[in-house]
Chain A
Amino acid sequence: MTQHHNPIPIPPDDPRDLLASYALGATAPDESARVEAYLRDHPEAKAEVAEYAAAATLFSADVPLREPPAALRQKLLDSVRSQPPTRVSPKLVLPTTGKPPVIPSALPSGGSAKRTLFPAAALAWFSTAAAVALLVMNVFWMSQVNDLRQRQAALEAENLAQQAQVASLERASQEQITDAVTIMVTGSKAELMDDTGESRAMVMWQPGDTEAVMFTHSLPALDDSRTYQLWLIDSEGNPISAGTFTVDGDGRATLMFNAETAIDAFDALGISVEPAGGSTAPTTQPLAVSAL
């Protein structure tokens, strides 16, 4: 007769024993959650986490030294000349009614599947609609802000580390959340609306910065053969992909993206439905757009 033995359950580690690993980002998600709960109840332990993280940077002094490429210095300086440093001053970007985004007229040659996007008929409505919608921060967006603020509170240990100039204490995803919260609190905003004037997404960024975060709301779910794609439209009407995304059961998605130039420099934003994997240029009518 076979005798089955139940495995002896392993008790979870004491959160205090995980502080060092947490500071390195080596903890599993469930362990991180327990450490964060512990830090909320024991704020005095946050300093210990920050000290672990700071102490770990000493290892950087022991790496083999390498010279960076000589051209990198000039590349960096050329890059910053194209963008001023980010300022903390909040700014609400309202759509400009006198400067609608340019409709792309030149399509890549040979791209038979690529069709014109954002035709004038689809764009004509959004200046007025965007102006109205942007002036009304509706309940959804407030809930988004509150939700992220709650998540920010849950990442209190990381914030401490930032305050201690150790930046982030956990995985990079947490750093991204903090970035997103920073952008939401201090950044510029643009709301993307559909052709009924209903808000579908909001994009937020720091003035002058190339990094932004987008939240969607009530977008229809897509089958596996299609994906949503966010586009930045430059001053000449050229669409630049900011990334593809899918939505959850409530039509929500969060997308952080980096543009090659400051977000402010673009004229418009749009979301289109594309084949799975995304497209090099929009192939369908935009379902939500906003001027910048």
Chain B
Amino acid sequence: MPDEPQTAEVQLLERIRDGDENALAEFYDRFARLVFSVTYHVLQNDTLAEEVTQDTFLKIWNRAHQWDASRGKVTTWLLTIARYTAIDRLRAEQRRDGRGQLDLEDVVNILGENAPMDEPLWADEQLIRDILTEIPADQRQVIELAYFRDMSHTEMAEALNLPLGTVKGRVRAGLSKLRTLWLQKTQIKS
């Protein structure tokens, strides 16, 4: 991944940690579209995604001191916070409306509608595309159901009408390959 943007992001986080509101505004300008897109993808609702996006940046504002530049990329940290905040909200909404579980058919349909990324995001978009296209579709499907829809092995097996062992195997194989490719290609780039 390019060093320069990462350095700029680190500097922004350091300023946020010091209470610089302008730095938070810059950080928001840089990442709001990505965070909103991810939270919308989890929640499938504009209003909820807006609230969760705000919550995510408030967590950045309040927890900037917890981030350690030597231990990881800003974007990975931000997206993990965004994903968990959205998943938290997803669970709360499910409890609130009494459904108790996702509409699994909708979930599968939603994930089938993924559009390819149309512009650079946090890193080398071509590199990410290259990595993701090497993950078989069936493996990618279960990883996305777990990652974006908070689904367990059992829920995925029911939704996809697959044996539990098959689901577990696909998650393991897909994520193992993703990890290996990610490590290989980032090492090559560096």
**Which bracket fits the contact residues of B?**
35 or more
Residues on A with C-beta less than 8 A from B67 are 165
Kindly specify which of A64-72, A127-135, A193-201, A238-246 makes contact with the partner chain. A64-72
User: Judging by beta carbons under 8 Å apart, are B77 and A166 in contact?
Assistant: yes
B131 within 8 A of A: yes
CA distance A175 to B81 in the complex (A): 10
CA distance A65 to B23 in the complex (A): 24
User: Judging by beta carbons under 8 Å apart, are A80 and B21 in contact?
Assistant: yes
Residues on A with C-beta less than 8 A from B176 are 20, 52
User: Judging by beta carbons under 8 Å apart, are B118 and A59 in contact?
Assistant: no
CA distance A66 to B38 in the complex (A): 9
Contact of A68 with B32 at beta-carbon distance under 8 Å, contacts A17-B168, A168-B84 already known? yes
User: Judging by beta carbons under 8 Å apart, are B171 and A66 in contact?
Assistant: no
Interface of A is mostly: helix
Q: Which of A18, A76, A206 contacts B58 (CB 8 A)?
A: A76
**Which bracket fits the contact residues of A?**
35 or more
A85 within 8 A of B: yes
User: Judging by beta carbons under 8 Å apart, are A28 and B154 in contact?
Assistant: yes
On B, residues with C-beta under 8 Å from A are: 16-17, 19, 21, 24-25, 28-29, 32-38, 40-41, 46, 49-50, 53-54, 57-58, 61-68, 71-77, 79-84, 87-88, 91, 113-119, 121-123, 125, 128-129, 131-132, 143-144, 146-148, 150-154, 156, 168, 171-172, 174-176, 178-179, 182-183
On A, residues with C-beta under 8 Å from B are: 13, 17-18, 20-21, 23-28, 31, 48, 51-69, 72-73, 75-77, 79-81, 83-88, 161-168, 172, 175, 206, 208-209
